Amino acid sequence: MKDKQLTMQDIADLAGVGKSTVSRYFNGGYVKEETRRKLKEIIEKVDYTPNTIAQSLKATKTKTIGIVAPCLDSITSSRVMMALDEYVRNEGYVTIIINTNHNEMRELTSIEHVWKMNVDAIVLIATNITEAHRQLAHKIDVPMLFIGQVFSDGYSIVNDDYHAGFDMGEYVAKKGHMDITYVGVNASDRAVGIERKKGVMDGFQTHGVSSINTIETDFTFTHSQDVISAYLKKHIPSVFICATDTIALACYKEVQALQLKVPEDISIVGFGGYESSSVITPSLCTVRFDNEMAGKMAGEAIIKWINGEIIPKMQSVGYTIIEGESVQSI
């Protein structure tokens, strides 16, 4: 029965399951244990390899990869998408991007939309993975890679948010700061809202700082201004640890509005490493994630996956602390 004519549908028919289940089996997606055993048995019997599957699928390739992004005005996602685009272009693929404007329903329908456009693979720049995402990911029968958040049932490229947070916490603690305010974002964004924050907390704790004030904002400049401005009326900390550079820039603005000086009166740090953070005076102390590397890694992974090669379940991207001039030694 070994035959290059054999299709994924044939395997599906033999196992009495849907084609998408067979695809998931080969792509490492979720398959019920019982079905997995049955598929394994059949595949061994017919002496089948994922490469044969990949080969038999080739005919329908559109050479198009769909990217679903939460927005177009984040420097981080833009850098990732441009590097990803560049990588896959050189491999003969075109990427098409759909913007969801941070709307979960749109995100889910956009994933379905690109899928129905017969893309060869889907990349989701993820901010929040819900049960609906999981269900959809199991239905999608093309490779689907998550960037920015760990997708436990599939494949992800993520920033090493915990360690970046830890190193930053440690760095600021070593400068002698004790009165710390962390300006974070909602926990629905696991990577930034939980991992990054936990890293910062643990970094401080290792150096004996266990009490940290925390306030919450969102990813926008203007809302962050409001939140920080209100907070500064009640308390002026020795340092603001901001979950993103955009939030840190809003801090600069509000601190300067009170005629206070950075870093003499208040130190400020961010996460992001945008160009604007280096041009401001004093330049911002921040963490630069290697977004270009994330894009390239994503491109490499997705092409390997399309070609039926094995890829790591999770890859994390490095970072660098840029000291800048916005943290005072106490």
Min dist. Cβ of residue 108 to a second copy (A): 13
Is residue 117 involved in binding a second copy (CB under 8 A)? yes
**CB burial class (10 A; 0-12, 13-18, 19+) of residue 109?**
middle
Verify binding: residue 257, a second copy, rule CB under 8 A.
Answer: no
Rule CB under 8 A: say whether 258 interacts with a second copy: no
Binding part of the chain for a second copy, among 22-30, 174-182, 236-244, 272-280 by CB under 8 A, reads: 272-280
Which range touches a second copy (CB under 8 A), out of 42-50, 159-167, 198-206, 271-279?
271-279
Q: Check binding of 253 to a second copy (CB under 8 A).
A: yes
Q: Is 260 in the site for a second copy (CB under 8 A)?
A: no
Provide Rg for the chain, Cα atoms: 23
Q: Which of 6, 46, 54, 98 binds a second copy (CB under 8 A)?
A: 98
Binding of a second copy by 105 (CB under 8 A): no
- Name the helix (H) or strand (E) containing 215: strand 213-217
Question: Contact with a second copy (CB under 8 A): which of 3, 73, 226, 265?
Answer: 73
In angstroms, rounded to a whole number, what is the distance separating the alpha carbons of residues 330 and 67?
46
Expressed in angstroms, the distance from the first to the final Cα of the chain is: 75
Q: What one-character DSSP code corresponds to residue 54? A: H
Closest Cα to residue 174, out of 13, 23, 22, 321? 321
Stretch that binds a second copy, among 107-115, 208-216, 232-240, 311-319 (CB under 8 A): 107-115
Q: Measured from the CB atom, is 131 or 275 closer to a second copy?
A: 275
53 or 97: whose CB is closer to a second copy? 97
Exposure of 105 by Cβ count < 10 A (0-12 exposed, 13-18 middle, 19+ buried)?
Answer: exposed
Q: By the 8 A CB rule, do 101 and 133 touch?
A: no
* Pairwise CA distance, residues 315 & 274, whole Å: 23
Out of 114, 125, 145, 301, name the contact with a second copy by CB under 8 A: 114
Site string for a second copy, 215-234 (x = CB under 8 A): ------x-------------
The answer to whether residues 223 and 214 touch, using CB atoms and an 8 Å cutoff, is no
CB 304 within 8 A of CB 298: no
Among 249, 269, 303, 327, binds a second copy (CB under 8 A): 249
Instruction: Check binding of 108 to a second copy (CB under 8 A).
Output: no
Where does this chain touch a second copy (CB under 8 A) — which range of 28-36, 72-80, 190-198, 296-304?
Answer: 72-80
Q: How far apart are CA 298 and CA 290, in angstroms?
A: 12
Distance CA 224, CA 267 (A): 17
| Position 113 contacts a second copy (CB under 8 A) | yes
The residues of the shown chain that bind a second copy, judged by CB under 8 A, are 64, 71-73, 75, 78-79, 81-82, 85-86, 89, 94-99, 101, 106, 110, 113-114, 117, 221, 246, 249-250, 252-253, 256, 274-276, 278-281
